[in-house]
Each structure stands twice: as C-alpha cells, then as structure tokens.
C-alpha cells in the first residue's frame, strides 16, 4: 500500500491503485510557463481508464471564503483558489506530457493513449456536508469552465474526510506529522 | 395564534402532537405524506372561526359550519371519510390550542357531523390560504361560477377569490416597501379592475397587460402582493401557503423569504409547505438574521407502503433526520461521484 502524508493527513492508496506523489519535487520542471505556477498537484494515480490528479487543501484555505462579508472580496478570494487549482492542473499536465522522469512514464503512456484529459479530485481536509460539497463542485466547475474556455476540464470532484472513495484510498487525519 | 395541534386517527396521522412557532412553520416531506392535509385542517378550523364570528357564535353553529368547511376543503363526501380506520380505535380526535383557548372535536368513520367537545371563540379570525394553483387568470366570474356549482374545486379557492376581490387600501410605509421590493424584481405592478372583475399587470413603458399574458410565477407573487395591498393579509393574519415554488424561478426564493420573514415579524403566523431547497435555505438564513423562531416539520413514512406518517420537528433544518429535499441533493452528489469515477 502506498502511503503519503499531506496536510496532516495520511493517504493510504490501495495496492491495486498506482499512485505517484507528484508534488515531491517541490518545483515544476517546466519553469518557462510563468502563469502555470511552479508546483504540480499533490498526487497522481491511475484508476480504471482514467488518470486522476489529486490536490489536497486544508479547509483553512477556504474558511476565509465563508467569513468574508463583502461579496466582491469573497468572489475574488474564490477566484484566487480556482486560479490556484487551474495553475496546478496546467503545471501537472505539462509535466506529465513533457517530462523524461521515468517515474511518470506509465502515466505519460496512458495519457497519450487516452483521449480524455486527467480528472481532478480536490480533497478538502475537513467534514463538510454532501449538500455543501455539491454546491461547491457546481461553483468550481462553472468558474473553471467560464474562466478558462480553452482548458478541457473533464470533471472535477470534491472529496472530504467523510466522503472519500475508500475503494481507492483510506485517509487518517490528525496525529500525522 | 395557533400554538399546538394534537391529532389521533386523522387521514395519514395516527398520533401527533405538534407545537408551532408563532412566526414561521415550514412543512416538508415527500409526496403523499399529509403536508397539505395538515394545513387544510388548520385553515378549515381558523376559517370557521372567521365565518361563524360574523354570523352566530354558538357551539352548534360552529360544529355545523366546521364540518362543512372541512368537507368542502378536502372534497370528501362526508367528514367520516377523513377518519382513519384503525382496529380498536374508532374515533378521530383533534385538539387545537391557541394562546389561551382550546378547541377539541371528535368524529368517527360513520359520522355525518363532528362533535365539539370544547369550544370558545378566539381572537384570531383572519386566515389566508394560497393553494398551488393561481386564480388571477381565471378570476372573472370565478366566485359566482363556484357558487352556482359550475366549478368543482376546494372551497379555499373561493375563499381566496373573495379576499382578492377588493381593491388596494391605504398602506403604511413598511408595507409599501415590502411590496415595492418584490415589484422592483418583477418590474411590474398588479392592478385589479373591480368593474370588470379582472386582474392586469402594469409594466413601465408598456401599460396594462391582461394577467393571462404574464407567467404563472408572477401571478402567484401578484396574488400575495395584492392581498397585502388590499389589507386582507394583515399583521394578525395566519397565512397558509402550499408550495410557493410551483411555477416560480428559484431566483425569487430569496425575496419571497425576505417578504415572509418580514410579515411574520409583524405578527403574521405562517405555515408553508414546500419541496424547495432554495426556499428552506433562504428562510433559515432570514429567520436567523431577524432572530425569528422558525420550526421545520418533516413528515415521513418509514416504508412507502406504511399507512401512517411519522414526523419530527426541529428549529434548525440541519438537525432533521428525515429531510427529503436535502436527501435528493445528496443523491445528486452520489450520482455525480459515480459518473466521476466511471462506476
């Protein structure tokens, strides 16, 4: 079982899931694209016929969104988070396409065979109700699709400590350092 | 003000004891769980007080009138049809508690008329029932057609028509601004022509349009606005509204919630039946903001084949264990998850 630590959580991927800690290099190998930022999403894994990008965020990154009273500022804050996810997505996609790193060759091969682009899982470290998650996904998808019309976002899904997919991985929170 | 309702063996209710909020009461539940039965029963009782008060306050008259009111609003052949057939329990018992008074009545499956066990006149007598269908577009001759037996529909539609058939009255500034807020969204005003018995919508730059030319959602909102404007929905009224969301765009939910919370803050007790997510959420936020006590009543069956419904009441919607509206949203989340993982 592959075990990775991120945002004070231990992600243990099931044996049949091929997972790669994508953020381990700390810096992107594709620095010339300034807009894309310089760090890829946290995990990369294969499941069935899809490649998944998984970004883990502590709820504290988003808490401000619910606290900010000014709707314009709140919107700007949300946009910033969306841009951050987008930048990581582009960065990861670029690394995957162009990298010579042997560790990701399998994913690279898969990517060339697949017509689909990778799917993004945004893992929010906290317990949020499914109803709120659904609205969050709707909002995120809408923002991403509207903001970046040229980007093919196949789909984005938000998971939490309560609602993760335990067929792929289990997650333990708290005592991890 | 209705404080509490106790029921035994009435339609889908075997046993219930519900305490209401003096402000907002929101009833939710899947189809066929008795939501409309509940508000029709409450309305029929309050309406009987209103009518009998104008005629004769005697116990016998009230029993007679209430029997007819219930029969006409439930559209059943006899009052006994509303009594649940349960082995060992032959009677239906209803107790309704007001601020200081109580009404108690009984009937059985064989009853032709209900039996009043306890009755005293009460101060609250003004009730409005807004049903799922709007009547502004079919208003012309509606009352006379109903009375001539040409229209067979629940009596509450006729009651509503009578209350609508009055023109605008002088309003204080608060009520004017309540109406104005909604009219600003509609960008139109509801006009009643008493002579023609017809409703129109007045739009800036266009003039008066026949009400049939505007959407049903606007007609429903127009109904509420006209009742406030003509003074029939006043501060001490009790408002029953069955599924406001029917034909209404969710964009209206926020302003409808603001309007309802403002009305209840001014003394109108509200009973609302809804299936709408946006409405329950906006009402929760508005009630919290205005510090108003809101009660969410969830009616549910453990199994679809069950004869009787269960219920739970909470002041916070999120504390309800049975919430068919949120459950549907969760179901969409699960569907989306399946599609995402290609399951």
**Contacts of residue A137 in chain B, CB cutoff 8 Å?**
333, 336
Of A78-92, B15-29, B68-82, B99-113, the least confident = A78-92
Task: Answer whether A131 sits within 8 Å of B339, measured CB to CB.
Answer: no
pLDDT at A35 over 60: no
CA of A33, closest CA in chain B: separation in Å?
Answer: 29
**Contacts of residue B326 in chain A, CB cutoff 8 Å?**
131
**Contacts of residue A140 in chain B, CB cutoff 8 Å?**
none
Task: Give the chain B residue whose CA is nearest to the CA of A164.
Answer: B337
Of A48, A129, A130, the CB nearest to B342: A48
Query: Nearest Cα to A88, choosing from A55, A50, A123?
Result: A55
CA of B339, closest CA in chain A: separation in Å?
Answer: 9
Of A55-64, A135-144, B251-260, the least confident = A55-64
Bridge partners for A158 per DSSP: A122
Q: Report d(CA B259, CA B266) in Å as an integer.
A: 11
Longest dimension (CA), chain B: 69
Mean pLDDT in chain B? 91
CA of A27, closest CA in chain B: separation in Å?
Answer: 29
In this predicted structure, what is the pLDDT of residue A55? 93
Task: Give the chain A residue whose CA is nearest to the CA of B328.
Answer: A131
B142 to B2, B138, B162, B196, B265: CA distances (angstroms): 30, 7, 9, 12, 33
Q: Report d(CA B35, CA B297) in Å as an integer.
A: 9
Per-residue pLDDT band at A62 (split at 50, 70, 90): low
Average pLDDT for B85-93: 77
Q: pTM of the prediction?
A: 0.86
Q: Does B335 touch chain A (CB under 8 A)?
A: no
Q: How far, rounded to the nearest angstrom, does the alpha carbon of residue A83 sit from its chain's CA centroid?
A: 12
For chain A, list residues whose CB is within 8 angstroms of any CB belonging to chain B: 47-50, 119, 129-131, 133-134, 137, 155, 157, 163, 165
Contacts of B244 (CB under 8 A, 6+ apart): B130, B220, B256, B272, B274, B276, B279
In this predicted structure, what is the pLDDT of residue A33? 46
Using DSSP's 3-state secondary structure scheme, residue A120 falls into strand
Percent of chain A with pLDDT over 90: 16
Task: Answer whether A131 sits within 8 Å of B337, measured CB to CB.
Answer: no
Of A108-122, B230-244, B262-276, the least confident = A108-122
Of A130, A134, A155, the CB nearest to B340: A155
Strands A119-125 and A50-58, bridge-based pairing: parallel
Please, are residues B104 and B95 in contact by the beta-carbon 8 Å criterion? yes
Q: Report d(CA B92, CA A1) in Å as an integer.
A: 64
**Contacts of residue B334 in chain A, CB cutoff 8 Å?**
130
Beta sheet of A9-13, edge-to-edge order: A2-6, A9-13, A169-173
Average pLDDT for B270-293: 95
CA of A34, closest CA in chain B: separation in Å?
Answer: 30
In this predicted structure, what is the pLDDT of residue A59? 73
**Contacts of residue A134 in chain B, CB cutoff 8 Å?**
329-330, 332-333, 336
ipTM of the complex: 0.86
In this predicted structure, what is the pLDDT of residue B204? 79
Of A17-21, A112-116, A163-167, B317-321, the least confident = A112-116
Please, are residues B259 and B186 in contact by the beta-carbon 8 Å criterion? no
B185 to B171, B208, B249, B299: CA distances (angstroms): 20, 17, 12, 33
CA of B245, closest CA in chain A: separation in Å?
Answer: 20
B111-170 pLDDT, tens digit per residue, is 999 999 998 888 766 899 999 999 999 999 999 999 999 999 999 999 999 999 988 888
Task: Answer whether B330 sits within 8 Å of A137, measured CB to CB.
Answer: no
How many beta-carbon contacts under 8 Å exist across A and B?
32
CA of B340, closest CA in chain A: separation in Å?
Answer: 7
Please, are residues B166 and B201 in contact by the beta-carbon 8 Å criterion? no
């Amino acid at each position: 079982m592959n075990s990775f630590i991120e945002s004070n959580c231990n992600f243990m991927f099931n044996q049949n899931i091929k997972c790669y800690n994508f953020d381990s290099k700390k810096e992107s190998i594709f620095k010339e694209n300034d807009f894309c930022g310089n760090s890829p999403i946290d995990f990369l894994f294969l499941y069935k016929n899809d490649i998944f990008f998984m970004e883990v965020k502590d709820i504290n990154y988003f808490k401000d969104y619910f606290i900010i009273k000014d709707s314009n500022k709140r919107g700007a804050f949300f946009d910033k988070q969306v841009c951050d996810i987008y930048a990581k997505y582009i960065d990861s996609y670029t690394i995957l396409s162009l990298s010579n790193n042997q560790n990701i060759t399998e994913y690279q091969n898969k990517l060339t065979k697949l017509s689909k682009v990778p799917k993004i899982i945004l893992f929010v470290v906290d317990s949020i109700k499914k109803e709120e998650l659904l609205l969050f996904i709707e909002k995120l998808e809408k923002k991403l699709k509207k903001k970046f019309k040229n980007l093919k976002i196949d789909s984005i899904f938000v998971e939490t400590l309560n609602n993760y997919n335990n067929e792929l991985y289990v997650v333990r929170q708290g005592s991890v350092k | 003000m209705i404080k509490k309702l106790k029921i035994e063996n009435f339609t889908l209710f075997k046993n219930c004891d519900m305490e209401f909020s003096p402000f907002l009461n929101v009833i939710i539940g899947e189809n066929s769980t008795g939501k409309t039965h509940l508000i029709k029963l409450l309305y029929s009782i309050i309406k009987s007080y209103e009518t009998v008060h104008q005629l004769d306050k005697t116990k016998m008259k009230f029993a007679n009138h209430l029997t007819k009111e219930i029969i006409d609003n439930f559209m059943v052949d006899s009052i006994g049809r509303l009594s649940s057939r349960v082995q060992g329990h032959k009677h239906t018992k209803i107790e309704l508690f007001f601020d200081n008074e109580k009404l108690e009545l009984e009937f059985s499956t064989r009853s032709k008329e209900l039996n009043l066990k306890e009755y005293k006149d009460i101060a609250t007598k003004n009730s409005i029932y807004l049903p799922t269908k709007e009547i502004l577009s079919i208003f012309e001759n509606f009352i006379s057609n109903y009375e001539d037996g040409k229209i067979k529909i629940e009596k509450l539609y006729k009651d509503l028509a009578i209350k609508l058939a009055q023109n605008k009255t002088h309003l204080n500034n608060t009520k004017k601004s309540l109406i104005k807020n909604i009219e600003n969204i509609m960008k139109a005003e509801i006009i009643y022509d008493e002579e023609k018995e017809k409703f129109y919508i007045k739009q800036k730059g266009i003039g008066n349009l026949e009400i049939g030319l505007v959407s049903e959602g606007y007609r429903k909102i127009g109904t509420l606005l006209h009742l406030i404007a003509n003074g029939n929905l006043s501060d001490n009224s009790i408002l029953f509204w069955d599924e406001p969301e029917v034909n209404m765009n969710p964009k209206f939910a926020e302003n409808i919630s603001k309007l309802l919370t403002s009305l209840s803050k001014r003394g109108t007790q509200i009973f609302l039946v809804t299936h709408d997510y946006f409405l329950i959420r906006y009402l929760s936020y508005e009630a919290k903001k205005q510090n108003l006590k809101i009660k969410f009543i969830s009616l549910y069956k453990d199994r679809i084949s069950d004869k009787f419904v269960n219920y739970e009441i909470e002041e916070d919607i999120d504390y309800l264990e049975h919430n068919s509206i949120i459950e549907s949203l969760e179901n969409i989340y699960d569907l989306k998850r399946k599609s995402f993982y290609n399951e």
